[in-house]
Amino acid sequence: MRQFAIEGGTFRLDGQEFRVLSGALHYFRVLPEQWRHRLRMLRAMGLNTVETYVPWNLHEPRSGEFQRMDELGAFLDAAAEEGLLAIVRPGPYICAEWDNGGLPSWLTGRLRTSDPEYLAYVDRFFGELLPSVAERQVTRGGNVIMVQIENEYGSYGSDQAYLRHLADELIGHGIEVPLFTSDGPADYYLTGGTLPGALATVNFGSEPEKAFATLREFRPDDPLFCMEFWCGWFDHWGHEHHRRDPADAADTLERILAAGGSVNVYMAHGGTNFGTWAGANRHEEHRPTVTSYDYDAPIDERGAPTEKFWLFREVFSQYNADIPDVPETPAALPSSTLAITGSVRLRDTLGEASLWPTPPTFEELGLEHGLVLYGTRVPGPRQPYKLTVDGLHDRAHLFVDGELTAVLERDVEAPVVEIGGPAEIELLVESMGRTNYGPKLGEGKGILGGILHTQQYLNGVSAVPIPVDDISKLVFEPGFTGEPRSYFRAALEVAEPGDAFLALPGWGKGYVWVNGFLLGRYWERGPQRTLYVPAPLLRAGTNELVVLELDRAGAELEIRSAPDLG
């Protein structure tokens, strides 16, 4: 069997010195039908390895209920067949601009610590996941050469007992290839996030000489490895689209390799935050991440080579003599305009309400993401007082006696709404991504505090959860009403499936499904203006597009052959 080891400060594959030229490609951000093409693009850029995270919350959405557990193994097998080695980063925390950093929203206990309650859930998940990784190690005829312990832990905590427990769990489940940690290139990151006996790697986007010098001070005998070379960046709703000069990125890559380092290009291909999986960051305010995870990567969201790709390929050709030809990019659909053929009001699709003394969170309602319609009553007095919502996560339409009165947003100064009683209050609350980095992990969604009329809590609250994962039971009425907070349907006719980009000019904010598959969120504030529609979601003939619009309905939809990410 093959061997991958660290000896004399270098990596060795089957006894020979080996430079890891890796690229990040997340199996969960690309449809399985497209894995092969994207893996071939990695090879064609000059890489010999693929790296992927594993999102715990995707695979265990409810406690003890595991799903899609065969996908990681299938992806690793596909990578092996395409001639790529693999690095697996199983978490339990992954960051990755993924909802809650990959941690399930139902978790209890003190997250990312040695708390026994939390670790019991981690151990159960690892028990389900790790056998598929262990059996695919190079030492057993597979292609996995390295496995990560946690992720950038030095940016969060310093619980060495926690890291030791994770390492022991990995080893206990048969992981025998090198274990490693990855952290920022600063002393406190490395002090808190590394573990004796495990390789230390660093993450950065520039100044490789400085980053590697810091790593050398901390670990003089470890081989140099940039586990995340940030060659682009991600976007937040309402903020600028990030672009990095391709020549600048290529220069940094060349300097990483010239210093003798191995590298993992993050991201080689970003893919898409399908559904409601996009995360968020917490700065001065909550900043939810957009649906696209293009990342300004060298291989763009639909798998096409960019200028950055060609420059990186040129750099890698100096270190890899076995670079195949570049695969063709599948053709995109021609541009077209789609008329709305049917609609149904959101209110006409609601299920039964449950009654609570105070507003329940999404988590208490068993809802991962989507919307909840809360209802309560102002009993009096007739004199108007200020109405406030304490702990709104994340956005709400406020109705008073059935009339839209205000739109409220988390961390945005709320308009002053004064109400006299008696009055019926409704709040249609929408969740955005959960924070994926820093101390705000594990936040709830919905109304976390309460609904107040001046200083008085309004008790007796009804709640109707509105999930967005299944729209199969919707019944549409013909025609187009244009009324917001409705579902709208359109038809896309195609002779042969191809990639496309969906634009919603004149629409406000909401969700889009293609043939029942939730593409993700859209929002007029940008920067993202189009949603990527992968060809495997389409079929020859008629395809159904459904839009849930919350703010303002446009007149039509557009299919475009090129993206607009801002």
Classify the phi-psi angles of 171: left when phi > 0, otherwise alpha if psi is within -120 to 50, otherwise beta. Answer: alpha
Tokens of 377: 């009553």
> Which of 60, 97, 150, 152 is the catalytic position?
152
Pairing assessment for the beta strands 395-400 and 286-288 based on DSSP bridges: unpaired
Listed residue (472, 539, 552, 537) closest to 501, CA to CA: 537
DSSP 8-state secondary structure symbol assigned to residue 415: P
Q: Tell me how far apart the 2 most distant CA atoms of the chain are, in Å.
A: 83
Q: What whole-number distance in Å separates Cα of residue 384 and Cα of residue 466?
A: 31
Contacts of 436 by beta carbon, 8 Å cutoff, 6+ apart: 95, 96, 97, 98, 99, 100, 101, 102, 279, 280, 281, 289
328 in active site = no
- For 527-540, letters b (16+ CB in 10 Å) and e give bbbbbbbbbebbee
Contacts of 391 by beta carbon, 8 Å cutoff, 6+ apart: 447, 448, 449, 450
Listed residue (484, 500, 488) closest to 533, CA to CA: 500
Are 210 and 235 in contact by the 8 Å Cβ rule? The answer is no
Paired strand residues for 493:
542
Q: What whole-number distance in Å separates Cα of residue 371 and Cα of residue 432?
A: 10
Q: What whole-number distance in Å separates Cα of residue 11 and Cα of residue 262?
A: 9
- Alpha helices by DSSP H, listed for 32-92, are 35-45, 56-59, 71-81
> Which of 82, 169, 228, 549 is the catalytic position?
228
- CB-neighbour burial class of residue 498 (10 A; exposed 0-12, middle 13-18, buried 19+): middle
Q: What whole-number distance in Å separates Cα of residue 553 and Cα of residue 316?
A: 48
Paired strand residues for 462:
355, 375
What CA dihedral angle connects 307, 308, 311 and 316, to 10 degrees?
Answer: -140
With tokens 């006996």, the residue in question is 197
- CB-neighbour burial class of residue 328 (10 A; exposed 0-12, middle 13-18, buried 19+): exposed
Q: What whole-number distance in Å separates Cα of residue 20 and Cα of residue 231?
A: 17
Are 79 and 139 in contact by the 8 Å Cβ rule? The answer is no
Contacts of 232 by beta carbon, 8 Å cutoff, 6+ apart: 242, 243, 244, 249, 267, 270, 294, 295, 296, 297, 308
284 in active site = no
Are 235 and 290 in contact by the 8 Å Cβ rule? The answer is yes
Cα–Cα distance list, 462 to 115, 119, 426 (Å): 35, 35, 9
Q: Residue 314: phi, psi to the nearest 5? A: -65, -40
Residues with catalytic function: 152, 228
